[in-house]
Amino acid sequence: MVKTMTDKVKVLFFGDLTGKPGRFALRDFLSDLKSKNQLPDFVIANVENASHGFGLTPKNYGELLEYGVDCMTSGNHIFDKKDLLSIIEDADKLVRPINYPKNMTYGKGSRIFEKDDYKIGVINVLGRVFMTPVDSQWEIVEEEIKKLKEITPIVVVDFHAEATAEKVCFGKFCAKLGVSAFLGTHTHIQTADEHIENGMAYITDAGFCGCIDSVIGMDYATSLNRFLTALPERYEVAENGSVQINAVEFEIDKNTGFATSIKRIYSISKEEEKDKDNEV
């Protein structure tokens, strides 16, 4: 059978949303795509830093759904806002890391999302190198991939990890298990190694969405003080100036689950210039 565009699903994955600037950058980016009739089929965003840089509040969860996010992945900060626990069992668009300790009872580490005429399986995973200790991801994820692929050929993995080597190695491991797309998150620095390996779209880190004039989304002065003094100081989200979108767009064949394309996105909104124009 000759494949057509209807046989593919286009997915847009946003790197770590960092505070209000990240949330609003996503909102405006999707609104612009909608105005151009260019919205993707499915939108995923990493939200572990979405609420003032640490965790996710119920309010922000609802707002992101309104903006058009179909699935929210997370990471090691997802439970920093304790009021999330009041909704997490009903938050059916949110995925928390699957390899939290076995006695973790809050939320789900993977989900099947059904939209239009296809289903997408999404798994969220934490790395262990230079990270807070969690359960080994290797056996857990291998088993989960097999379960999801009995339901759908399309499986996406968000691997929230620090070490590049761990991401590369785990990515190859997932590619051999038939994963459709593997997106690294957590470091907030977008890498330039997007490619397709064994039918799997891959990037080591998708980057972050938030203020450019910052230290990975956080206020420069606060970050500098921590480095200069080695004293604890509360991080504050940078909220002034231009904002960036770091995202990855990829297409997956609905029938085989193989990725057919991947494109890295780096977009800047010149907020400072807009403000100057308004002052004139």
Domains in the chain, start-ordered, CATH in brackets?
A: 10-279 (3.60.21.10)
Residue 212 pLDDT more than 70? Answer: yes
SS3 204: coil
What are the start-end ranges of the E strands in the chain?
Answer: 8-14, 16-17, 42-46, 71-73, 110-115, 118-126, 155-160, 181-185, 195-197, 200-203, 208-211, 243-253, 259-269
For residue 6, the model assigns a pLDDT of 73
Instruction: For tokens 């939290």, name the residue.
Output: 100
**Is position 77 annotated as part of the catalytic site?**
yes
Residue-level pLDDT at 258: 98
Predicted TM-score of the model (pTM): 0.94
Q: Which amino acid is at 133?
A: P
pLDDT grade for 38, boundaries at 50, 70 and 90: very high
Taking every pair of Cα atoms in the chain, the longest distance, rounded to a whole number of angstroms, is: 65
pLDDT on residue 271? 60
Q: pLDDT tens for residues 93-133?
A: 999 999 999 888 899 999 999 999 999 999 999 999 999 99
Average pLDDT over the chain, rounded to whole?
94
Which residue is catalytic, options 77, 160, 186, 188?
A: 77
Query: pLDDT at residue 169 above 70?
Result: yes
